[in-house]
Amino acid sequence: MTKKLYIETVGCQMNVLDSELVVGSLRRQGYVLVHEPTEADVILYNTCSVRQHAEDKIYSALGRLRGHKKRFPSKIVGVLGCMAQKDQELVRKRAPHVDIVCGTGQLAQLPALIEEVIKTGTPQLALSLDRTEASRHEVERSFESYDPMRDPSMRPSAFQAYVRIMIGCDKFCTYCIVPSVRGPEQSRHPGHIAAEVRQLAAEGCKEITLLGQTVNSYQHDLGDGRTDRLSDLLARIHETSGIERIKFITNFPRDMSDDLLDAVRSLPKVCAYLHVPAQSGCNDVLKRMKRLYTVEYYRDMLARCRERVPGVAISSDFIVGFCGETEESFERSCDLVRNAGFKNSFIFKYSARPGTKADDLHPDDVPEEIKKRRNNDLLAIQNAVSLADHRSKIGATVDVLVEGPSKNALKQETGPKKQLTGRTMTDHIVCFEGNERLTGHTVQVKIEEASSFTLFGTVVTGEQVGMAEDCEDSPSLAYTETDRRIGLPLI
């Protein structure tokens, strides 16, 4: 009989890639994907611990399965990823019907764990070592880099893919749980990464996004006295036949080196787009966050990026309502957003995370209603900045890699022309009308209108078509967890 698998992913691009690799390994065991958890023999939730809302979402989903599991006890329920690594005992207490708890560093073991549950009916637990209870070497070995198998059905599109170049983080920002749930910083061998990129290109991928918690910290000792940095890796994979665009996220401000910026400028396939979270515009808050830089350093870094990479687009992250953030502190963040010229910013309300230094050292003393107001205020400032940035593009002709029909197009009746969406080399979203067969191709679009989120234009190569009137693909600048169900697009 066919074995059926359901997997749901909450969190960042790293989690989406983890789920792709999990599905790739289980397909080799004969599993097929289904769209509803109740249809599956194995039901998996790949989790996130960055915010409380992400965890609550998983517990709600597990709660809805309790009765189903009672009626069909042979079905297997698993919790994977960051929440599993951080809160294994709490998961088993709140959801005793869960059969498998598997951390981020143990995903390669998942097929064996499932088989053990089938054979014995005994719940399985697989976790990496705690960084506070073992040597760095032992912890590193317990966090396996798990990247050998891919599954195209799990990718953002048929021609786009994520490539992990490193795991873990050693920055230890006080608000962040990532160093605990993803372990020490470890960079993959550049030869292995280059081989994976060649494999993806052979499968039809045109755009790859290199992933790391602090991706520009990438550094691999080649063992012969040489060390490859991210700039070297970009040069190594740049000539891969079939690859047209290369992106990398997320960057740490202190590791934004000149050699990396020079690589972005000089390598045509590398997108002139940098995501560099600031988190706050106040030095006192940055110090409590242990971000390891000042606002002055961050502003100088921005100036250096724009000097060495003319026309570069830069986006950022901000946390509002962090411990001890006063109105004066918040206004300094507002000033940074007003003046920095970010293409966009992802804005988060601070969520205390058990197990982080901030939760141990600093009271969560900003009321929720003030966090919401600051979130909205900062978002409004960023929207105005984004609108000015977008309006400056009106009249320009840009290269757009077409990602497919927009959400608006799904409401249209069938016809030769649909509203399409894609992105420029600076990661700006563009909407226009055209034939769906343009998906996966790069076209030139003349920009004619702009909103805070989207550029609108007319194709000037390939097809002469009318300008799109509206587009619903523009992401909110406020953060929303990625929620991917098998067979459905990313939200």
pLDDT digits (tens, 9 = 90+) for 456-473: 999 997 543 333 334 444
- Residue that finishes a domain, picked among 111, 140, 169: 140
Same domain, 284 and 206: no
Number of structural domains (the chain) is 4
* Residue 299 and residue 225 share a domain: no
Look up residue 270 and give its DSSP letter.
B
For 106-218, where are the E strands, in sequence order? 124-126, 160-164, 166-167, 186-187, 207-211
Domain containing residue 283: CATH number? 3.30.750.200
Q: 289 lies in which domain range?
A: 276-389
Query: Is the residue at 62 inside a domain?
Result: yes
Could you tell me if 301 and 427 lie in one domain?
no
Copy the structure tokens of residue 374. Answer: 């600051």
Residue 171 domain-assigned? yes
202 and 121 belong to one structural domain: no
Q: Are residues 326 and 423 in the same domain?
A: no
pLDDT (0 to 100) of residue 472: 42
| Beta strands 397-405 and 273-275, pairing class | unpaired
Asked if residue 404 and residue 383 are part of one domain, the reply reads no
**What digits encode the pLDDT tens for the residues 103-129?**
988 898 999 999 999 999 999 999 887
With respect to residue 58, please indicate whether it lies within any of the assigned structural domains. yes
Q: What is the CA radius of gyration of the chain?
A: 23
Distance CA 41, CA 72 (A): 9
Asked if 126 and 67 sit in the same domain, the reply is yes
Tell me, what's the pLDDT at 481?
Answer: 32
E strand or H helix at 4:
strand 3-11
Based on the fold, state whether residues 135 and 23 are members of the same structural domain. yes
| Residue 373 within any structural domain of the chain | yes
Domain boundary (225, 243, 271) is at 271
378 and 406, same domain (yes or no) = no
Looking at the fold, whether 360 and 413 belong to one and the same domain comes out as: no
Q: Which of 140, 174, 189 is the last residue of a domain?
A: 140
Q: What is the CATH number of the domain that holds 83?
A: 3.40.50.12160
Q: What is the pLDDT of residue 414?
A: 58
Record the pTM: 0.86
In this structure, the answer to whether residues 177 and 134 fall within a common structural domain is no
- The position carrying tokens 């958890």 is 37
pLDDT of residue 337: 98
> Which uninterrupted H or E stretch holds 482?
strand 482-485
- What lies within 8 Å, CB to CB, of 86 at 6+ separation is 49, 177, 180, 181, 354, 355
Q: Is 476 part of a structural domain of the chain? A: no
- List 403's β-bridge partners, or say none: none
The answer on 171 and 300 residing in a single domain is no
CATH code (residue 207) = 3.30.750.210
Q: Is residue 68 part of a domain?
A: yes
Residue 465 pLDDT: 36
Q: Which stretches in the chain have pLDDT values below 50?
A: 463-491
